[in-house]
Amino acid sequence: MNRFPVRLRLPVARPYRLDLTAQALRRLAANAVDVLAPDGAYHRALRLGNDLAALRVTQVEPDALEIEATGGDPELVRAAVVRMLGVDADLREWPRRASRVAWLAPIAHALRGVHPPRYPTLWEACAHAIVFQQISIHAAGAIMLRLVEAFGERARAGEVELVAFPEPEALLRASEERLGAVGLSANKRAHLRAAAAAVLDGTVREDAVDALASPEAIAYLTRVRGIGPWSAAVVLLRGFGRLDVFPMRDSGVARSVRELAGDVTVDLDGVLETLGPVKGLLYFHLLLGRLRNLGPRATD
C-alpha cells in the first residue's frame, strides 16, 4: 500500500527555498513538530478536519514543491502547506527595500528565496506566543518540547516519527500537575488554558482576525488573557503572515541586530520605516541570519 496516498504538485513563484522557509518555521533544533530530514524534506503531522495527517514536502524544482500526505482531504492538505510555507506571500517589495539598508542587503541576498512561514492555526500561534514570553528562546523551546511530547498525537511520514502540536482540548483536560511538570509557570498555565478556551468558544476567531487591519487585529487579540500587544504582533506575523507588523521590544531582535550589523549603529525605527509594508520579513532574516552565522561578528 502506498505510504502517501495523497500526492500533489504545488507551483511556487521564484525565488523560493524550502530549506530556508522550513528552518524559519522550525526555529530551534528542539522543535519536535516541524522536522527537517537530512535529505531536505520537511515533515509535519497535523489534524485536518477529522484526520491526523502526516505530511512530507520536498522541493522538486526551483518553482515547484511536491506534497505527500498519509491522509486528509487533498484541498485541506494543499491549503495547510500553502499557509505554513508562505507560498502565496507577495515579496516583490522586499529586495528593493532591503537593498537600501547597507548591513541588511548582503543578508537579504544570502537568504534570497525565504518566505514567511506561518503556524497552521490561530491556537498554535497563540500558544507559541505565550510560552515564549519573557524567557530565553532556548528555555521556552525546552518547555515547548516537553509540552508537545506530553500532549501531542503521534504519526509517521514514511520512516519519520512525528508528533502533532497538541490540540486546545488536550490542554483544557490536562491537570495542573501535568502542565506544571513540563515547566510551565502558574501564569503560563492559566494563559494557555485561557487561549485554548477563547479559540474553542469563539472569543477569538481566525476569520475575524483576517477581516481586520493589523492595528485593529492586535487590539482584538489582546482580549485573550496573556496576549498583550507584543504577543499579538507575534501572532499576526507568525500565525497570519502579516508582514506590516514587527514585534518591538524583543530582546532577541536586539541581540540579532547587534550580531548581524557588526559595528554599525542601527536606528531600528528608521530601518522599519524603510522596509515599510514588508518589515515583518526582517524578523525572519534576523532569525536565519543568526542561525546561519551571516553577520560579521560571527566570523570575528
Which amino acid appears at position 242 of this protein?
Answer: R
Cell numbers linked to 155: 504519526
Query: At a CB cut-off of 8 Å and minimum separation 6, what does 297 contact?
Result: 258, 259, 260, 262
Look over the chain and give the mean of its residue pLDDT values, rounded to a whole number.
94
Mean pLDDT of 6-25: 97
- pLDDT for 299: 42
Q: Which CATH class is domain 6-91?
A: alpha beta
Least confident of 24-38, 169-183, 244-258: 244-258
pLDDT of residue 184 exceeding 70, the answer is yes
SS (H, E, C) 50-83: CEEEEEEEEEEECCEEEEEECCCCHHHHHHHHHH
- pLDDT for 278: 98
Least confident of 113-122, 127-136, 192-201: 127-136
pLDDT band at 1 (very low <50, low <70, confident <90, very high): very low
pLDDT band at 2 (very low <50, low <70, confident <90, very high): low
Mean pLDDT of 140-144: 96
pLDDT of residue 134 exceeding 90, the answer is no
Side-chain-facing half-sphere of 15: CA atoms under 13 Å: 13
Q: Are 125 and 238 in contact (CB under 8 A)?
A: yes
Question: CA-CA distance, 257 to 262, in Å (whole number)?
Answer: 8
pLDDT of residue 297 exceeding 60, the answer is no
Burial environment of residue 276 by CB neighbours within 10 A (0 to 12, 13 to 18, 19 or more): exposed
pLDDT of residue 300 exceeding 50, the answer is no
Question: CA-CA distance, 95 to 62, in Å (whole number)?
Answer: 18
- pLDDT for 157: 86
DSSP per-residue string spanning 130-150: HHTTTS-HHHHHHHHHHHHHH
pTM: 0.94
DSSP per-residue string spanning the chain: --S--EEEEEE-PSS--HHHHHHHHH-STT-SSSEE-TTS-EEEEEEETTEEEEEEEEEEETTEEEEEESSS-HHHHHHHHHHHTTTT---TTHHHHHTTSTTTHHHHHHTTT------SSHHHHHHHHHHTTTS-HHHHHHHHHHHHHHHPPEEEETTEEEEPPPPHHHHHHS-HHHHHHTT--HHHHHHHHHHHHHHHHTSS-HHHHHHS-HHHHHHHHTTSTT--HHHHHHHHHHHH--TT----S-HHHHHHHHHHHTTPPP-HHHHHHHHGGGTHHHHHHHHHHHHTT-SGGGG-
pLDDT of residue 120 exceeding 70, the answer is yes
Which amino acid appears at position 270 of this protein?
Answer: G
The β-bridge partners of 7 are: 68
CA 272 to chain CA centroid, nearest Å: 20
The domain spans of the chain are: 6-91
Q: Which residue has the cell 485541506?
A: 76
- pLDDT for 251: 67
